[in-house]
Amino acid sequence: MDSTIELLEKVLTDLKKVGGVEASALASRDGLLIKAIMPSGQHAETFAAMSATMLGAAETATTELGKRIPERVIVESDHGKLIATGAGPKALLVLLTTPEAGLGLILLEMDKAAQNVKELL
Amino acid sequence: MMVETGIPKLDEFLDGGIPKGKSLIYFNHLGVEGDVFGMQTLYHNLAKGGTCVYVTSSSNPETMKDHLREFGWNIKQFDDKLLIIDGFSSLIGGLSTENYVVSNPESIDSMTEMIDRAMKDVPKGSIIMVGSLSSIMDLCGEENTLNAVKMWNRMAMIREHVLIYNFTAWPYEESTLKSMKNDIFNCVISIGGIEERVIFGQYFGVLKADWSKVEMRSMLFRVLRPGGIRIYIPKILVTGPFNAGKSSFIHSLSTRAVSVDRLGTTIALDHGHIDYKGFSADIFGTPGQERFDPIIKMISGEAMGIFLVVDSTLPKDFIRAKQMLEITKGYGLPHIIVANKQDLPGALSADEIRNHFNIPKDVPIVPTVATSKKGIYEAFDILVEKITGGD
């Protein structure tokens, strides 16, 4: 039987296979890295901490305005996109994509993955 | 004289190391990077000028040396101090140029013969390391192997060597695993995986050490390449009032660090990573201003310890500092007070701060000047000792 961490890793690996996705990571809501599939040499811990803060700040900002919790945060730059979404109460899921990646399929797969993570944790 | 394991914290747990004549087993559960422990102990002792005998049974001796190189440990320079008992080459019908060659690796007696010979050749207090006890067990059978191990341990006791085994707990007989954990060795170090809330990591702990009064205690670790084993602390929090010097503190302490600064102050998070004296820690710094309190609450979860940074020249801010310790739920965690900006005129001393604000005796106050790195490593040492010391 696979351990939880192996199952989580599989969720991340599957996401990474979606066209245009460069890296995928799972972090706790309070910013600890759980697992990342990303090119070596990048500091996954910092990436996880910052993404958690970003999503948390976005959630605080919109709920303060009475707009409920946002589905996701998307950051676009010339060099790529970063998408962060909640995956249950304990974790969040973050993807990095190429600049030209289409978001349709990616968001669909990401929501599915987030649901799986929610069940696993 | 003790033989050190060379693993951070472990020697401390064992009251200094392994006494001569004793046996130790690194008992690895499945799925952890436990083989590094033996490698690190081997390298540590070779580097200190010790003599080691290494028993290979699952791979070519050269493979073992390559593996050590991954961690940046070059043992070529110690070739005359490292003797090999080759229990592998004969298996694949290869020739071996090693000191001791086991003619029939599927017979435990053949292995015993070589271990006996090597023990007689090396000086007292040498390390005899069995590279993989599990593979010997696979070849020779569980019962035969355990009986032989008992004999090897006695031989090592009489000749005053230290015997170290690496073992992976594949699904062997329950009774085999049980007697290995409880009866056969003087010391058992358990290495396993941990899943605790959102922390997925690896730990090691002392299950047994019959020469010291050990308490069951375990440590998270991670493996660096190069570098080897580091005690891992996933989150240390740095908090404190506005402009106390939290970001400067993190940046001077960290091997690398990033901050989200706007208009000269941290608005979201500082994140630093430090590798120091066998520890690997990630450091999270909160903003100081009250308007960021929701973020402070959010990122303070799962912290293992807290630095509360205060500006020693601004006693009026100490009330806010205490409040921040409450927000971060720091009272229940190991925490220390970093009395920063000691270089400025009017800075209160550690004692003045303690008296003035009724800080309990068990909360250390460390004077620092973060901008010139004064006192910051002392602060780190003290907090880490509180986190890992277990009292």
A7-25 confidence digits (pLDDT tens)? 999 999 999 999 999 999 9
Name which of B14, B13, B17 is nearest B3 in CA terms: B17
Same domain (yes/no): B15, B107: yes
Same domain (yes/no): B256, B183: no
- Is residue A103 very low, low, confident or very high in pLDDT (cuts 50, 70, 90)? very high
Interface membership of A108 toward B (CB under 8 Å): no
- Is residue A1 very low, low, confident or very high in pLDDT (cuts 50, 70, 90)? low
Chain A, residues 15-54, CB within 8 A of chain B, namely 28-32, 34-35, 43, 45-46, 49-50, 52-54
Alpha helices in B217-272 (DSSP H): 246-253
**Looking at B226, B250, B273, which one is the last position of a domain?**
B226
User: Which residues share a beta bridge with B53?
Assistant: B83, B128
Amino acid code (one letter) for A62: T
Is the separation of the CB atoms in B342 and B370 below 8 Å? no
Same domain (yes/no): B219, B248: no
Partner-chain contact B268 A60, CB within 8 Å: no
**Looking at B211, B226, B241, which one is the last position of a domain?**
B226
Same domain (yes/no): B145, B247: no
A vs B: CB pairs below 8 A? 76
Of B31, B200, B268, the CB nearest to A34: B200
- Is residue B22 very low, low, confident or very high in pLDDT (cuts 50, 70, 90)? very high
All domains in chain A, ordered by first residue: 4-120 (3.30.450.30)
Same domain (yes/no): B78, B218: yes
- Is residue A68 very low, low, confident or very high in pLDDT (cuts 50, 70, 90)? confident
Q: Give the model's pLDDT for residue B187.
A: 96
Alpha helices in chain A (DSSP H): 4-16, 44-64, 103-120
**CATH code, domain carrying B158:** 3.40.50.300
Same domain (yes/no): B305, B181: no
Of A43, A53, A90, the CB nearest to B269: A53
Q: Give the model's pLDDT for residue A80.
A: 93
Cα–Cα dist A62/A69, whole Å: 6
Partner-chain contact A32 B271, CB within 8 Å: no
Q: How far is A43 from chain B (nearest CA, A)?
A: 10
Partner-chain contact B269 A91, CB within 8 Å: no
B198-234 residue pLDDT tens: 677 899 999 999 998 877 678 999 998 888 999 999 9
Same domain (yes/no): B121, B190: yes
Residues of A in contact with B273 (CB under 8 A): 43, 45-46
- Model confidence at B24: pLDDT above 90: yes
Least-confidence region, from A15-24, A61-70, B58-67, B261-270: B261-270
- Model confidence at B390: pLDDT above 70: no
- Is residue B379 very low, low, confident or very high in pLDDT (cuts 50, 70, 90)? very high
Least-confidence region, from A32-41, A49-58, A101-110, B231-240: A32-41
Interface membership of A58 toward B (CB under 8 Å): no
Instruction: Report, as an integer, the average pLDDT of A19-42.
Output: 89
Beta-carbon contacts of A95 under 8 Å, excluding residues fewer than 6 positions away, are: A15, A21, A23, A24, A25, A82, A83, A106, A110
User: Which residues share a beta bridge with B305?
Assistant: B236
- Model confidence at B391: pLDDT above 70: no
- Residue B288: phi, psi to the nearest 5? -105, -25
Nearest CA in chain B to A89: B198
Same domain (yes/no): B131, B220: yes
Same domain (yes/no): B197, B302: no
Indicate the number of domains in chain B: 2
Same domain (yes/no): B62, B201: yes
Rounded alpha-carbon distances, angstroms, from residue A51 to A85, B5, B265, B276, B349: 9, 39, 19, 26, 39
**Looking at B196, B226, B256, which one is the last position of a domain?**
B226
Q: What is the ipTM of this complex?
A: 0.80
Same domain (yes/no): B195, B95: yes
Alpha helices in chain B (DSSP H): 10-13, 35-47, 61-70, 108-121, 133-140, 142-159, 174-179, 246-253, 293-299, 318-327, 350-357, 376-389
B303-329 residue pLDDT tens: 999 999 999 999 999 999 999 999 888
Same domain (yes/no): B236, B216: no
Of A3, A34, A53, the CB nearest to B299: A53
Cα–Cα dist B378/B381, whole Å: 5
Residue span of the structural domain in which B106 resides = 2-226
Q: How far is A21 from chain B (nearest CA, A)?
A: 24
